[in-house]
Structure 1
């Protein structure tokens, strides 16, 4: 599989507005209020002095306005400069956005340290793009377990398209490396003091696209949706004849019920093949192969009943 690095970002879907907490930032708050009413020129006029005075939130919001072309003509170059200024002040959303803009401009090497920093801070859009880079070996050494870990975290945050890209990786990354990725994802979550990752069987539902003129749904400054890269099916990495273990998902007296179960479970066990094995009057539903009993048991996750069985 290759996830081409053409354009990593879609058009900005909505601008996140930051509500200032300190009285000295009333100008930023006034700009937020004006923007929410569609008075973009007033918002920009409120943010500009604060941005020039070094306020990171104002710098970020002003950059968004330049990207969208609201309150002034769109100017991607100027917007990038303001994102950079805010990022240098450790503004998390600006760090991510600056890295994403550089990536979108084809400046992959320059984007990499910013995407790394944002992904480490838990920014899900940066995790999606960085994970794709690591999967492809695009301007960075290929690392499938880490790529999978980042996609798991991004998908768990309901980042649009992340679950779709993770599904593509499910079909390409060998089971053992996916397991390493899941463990790494849990480690990342623990380091960030965030809740434990859900079981592998929990797959986020795709998020509906947001129109460019939608009002913000939150008061944070997360704004754009990376576009899902086109994918090419990879050559099989593990021949179907390899592996001595499978998982048994059930046994039924009616073979139609066995096939119905697999229809419901096929997406959960993507990348495996199913076998319907007669055992007396019962039809067993087996999926695999897996390289070991531990791998098969791990693949079961929270699915019940599900047991590892030798071939």
Structure 2
């Protein structure tokens, strides 16, 4: 039976928007020549943005965006969202995201849905969040999974909520991993198993991961001095209402992947010290692939040892050992500048 009165966090405040880029134009709208010129102008705007000339980038993008280029529209939304090259204006940012989203720009669809959700326009947000979740955006999967667990705006569906949270956690959202731990205490075993099977099905059927559009600037292109973008994919999650201590685990459940022994495995003496967590993944193999890619891009990780920590249905990728919190913070700063989620883990 589903236990009444238990809800996860409100998801709206847990999502951070990314950042964008753009172009100027001398051709009249319409035709292949215009489309090619628009691409060039958008790319020139991106180059200006990456040089730190945000106002120049905005000037290049605006006429292209006014003429209907979705990348330029998304990029203007990002500029207004962050207040770079233009004053911060979230309403204007949302308007540009909506123009791009209506043309099928996946990043804009994700940002629009999440912005609407955060603004309290949740019914209007839901179709965009569903699109973004189907496209593989972990923030949208997190929000939709939370809504389905709580029965907010959508019918309560615990197996699908568990599957969506599993997918979000597998893409490195630590808040999703925390929600899974709460779900493990509440959702019956049979429904968790259904959710795991559905998550595997989603993973097999998923389109290529929501990629940065060729004409858009994403998180990895943001200068490392910008603390808002260096933050992890989601802000700290408010704690859910206290959950009564579960009854002793029955024999039939002792073999499930989230057995406490797997989570609390002792750390070897050689691994003592601070660590950094770089994500949570649906399989150990995915965590190992992420480590291989990050270690090659982030010099601060080169001397660290990877750890693959079982935590219920996910594997947490951690690296250590570091002598203190300051060292862990420095490593996380480098990892975030490279586009990775990261937070320190105390010994």
Per the normalisation by structure 2, the TM-score is 0.60
Judge conservation of contact 2:165–2:177 (CA < 8 Å) in 1: yes
2:233 is paired with a residue of what secondary structure? strand
Change (3 A) 1:214 1:229: closer
1:245 is matched with which residue: 243, 252, 276? 252
Write the distance in 1 (CA, Å) between the matches of 2:14 and 2:253.
40
Q: Deviations over 1:84-142 (max 9, x none)?
A: 11110111111111110110011111111111111111111110111111111111111
Question: How far apart are the structure 1 equivalents of 2:225 and 2:140?
Answer: 20
Are 2:19 and 1:15 equivalent residues in the alignment? yes
Secondary structure of 1:70 counterpart:
coil
1:72-151 to structure 2, matched below 5 A, reads 72-151=86-165
Counterpart position of 2:262: 265
Aligned to 2:226: 213
- The answer as to 2:231 corresponding to 1:234 is no
- Whether contact under 8 Å (1:145, 1:178) holds in the other structure is yes
SS where residue 74 of structure 1 aligns? coil
What RMSD in Å do the two structures reach over aligned CA positions? 3.6
Query: Which of 135, 148, 159 is the matching residue for 2:173?
Result: 159
For the 8 Å contact 1:9–1:100, the answer to whether it is kept is no
- The answer to whether the 8 Å contact 1:9/1:227 transfers is yes
Q: Using CA pairs under 8 Å that are at least 6 residues apart, name the structure with larger relative contact order, 1 or 2.
A: 1
Aligned length: 238
Contact 1:36/1:215 (8 A) holds in 2: no
Structure 2 distance, partners of 1:160, 1:233, is 20
For 1:215 and 1:8, the matched residues in 2 are separated by 14
Deviations 1:62-99 (A, max 9, x none): 00110111111111111111111111011111111111
- How far 1:211 sits from its partner (Å)? 6.8
Higher-helix-fraction structure: 2
